[in-house]
Structure 1
Amino acid sequence: MRLDLPGIDEESLEVTAENNTLTVRARRDVDAPKGAEFVMRERPVGTFNRQMVLGDGLDLERVSAQYRDGVLTASIPVAEHARPRRIPITRSGSDRKVIEAG
């Protein structure tokens, strides 16, 4: 998962995982001189949350996150029980008994 979060103070950034939900909380403060008036502002200020509901096949115990150059990247590995695996096949006929006439 990647989120563009330009202008976010790294100290205000919080990522939590609970009940198959990944939550990102952050705060962007005003970076202008006191008393300045804006004609236009492209980046909203204040606190915000983003939530993603995740599937059951992900391992929320091993989520990792990195914030660099205004981009938050979270890696969510697939749970071991959800990984594809090869199922062994028993071959029929391998227990055949041969009866010989004598």
Structure 2
Amino acid sequence: MSMSFDPFSQLDRIAQSVFDTSRQPRLMPVDLFREGDQYVLNADLPGVDPGSVDVDVDGHLLTIRAQRSAANRENSRWLAQERPFGPYMRQFTIGDDVAADRISANYDNGVLSVVIPIADRAKPRKIQVESVTEHGHKAVNA
């Protein structure tokens, strides 16, 4: 499987979703948008253990991990148990246009927010055009 990276790609695809033993996908729905000079990724992770939330970048791969512990209900009789527990993971491929060393994340009120700044080298910039006058002097067109 060859992996090619488009240097202009954004956080462009979900590389993998981890499935639990019952083969039901663990849902970590995300919103991803560009806001000015940064990408913002918001992931719904209600009820996860805050200390288990982990965001790391390895090359072009951004990985989000979290864990939700099972409720300890030894003296209870379950009538419904629909809320999944266990590990959660999502992975995203990021392009060369982001500043991986400046990515920041916070977990608040069940939502993980990851802010991914766009690298300075990827921002459009105006190039000065120089022209040489008849007398051999350089004139700068701003």
Q: Report the Cα distance in structure 2 between the residues aligned to 1:62 and 1:89, rounded to whole angstroms.
A: 32
37, 40, 45: which one aligns with 2:80: 40
Q: Which residue of 2 aligns with 1:84?
A: 124
Higher alpha-carbon deviation: 32-41 or 6-15? 32-41
Alignment of 1:21-100 (within 5 A): 21-34=61-74, 36-91=76-131, 94-97=132-135
Identity %: 36
Give the CA RMSD over aligned residues: 1.6
Q: How many residues align?
A: 95
Cα distance in 2 for partners of 1:84, 1:37 equals 61
- State TM-score, norm by structure 1: 0.83
Shift of 1:10: 0.5
Deviation at 1:38, TM superposition (A): 3.6
What corresponds to 1:16 in structure 2?
56
Q: Higher strand fraction: Structure 1 or Structure 2?
A: 2
Aligned-residue offset at 1:48 = 1.9
Q: Where does the alignment leave 5 or more consecutive residues of structure 2 unmatched?
A: 1-40, 136-142
1:100 aligns with: none
Q: Which runs of 5+ in 1 are unaligned?
A: 98-102
> Larger Cα Rg: Structure 1 or Structure 2?
1
Match of 2:6 in 1: none
TM value normalised by structure 2: 0.61
CA distance in 1 between partners of 2:78 and 2:58 (Å): 39
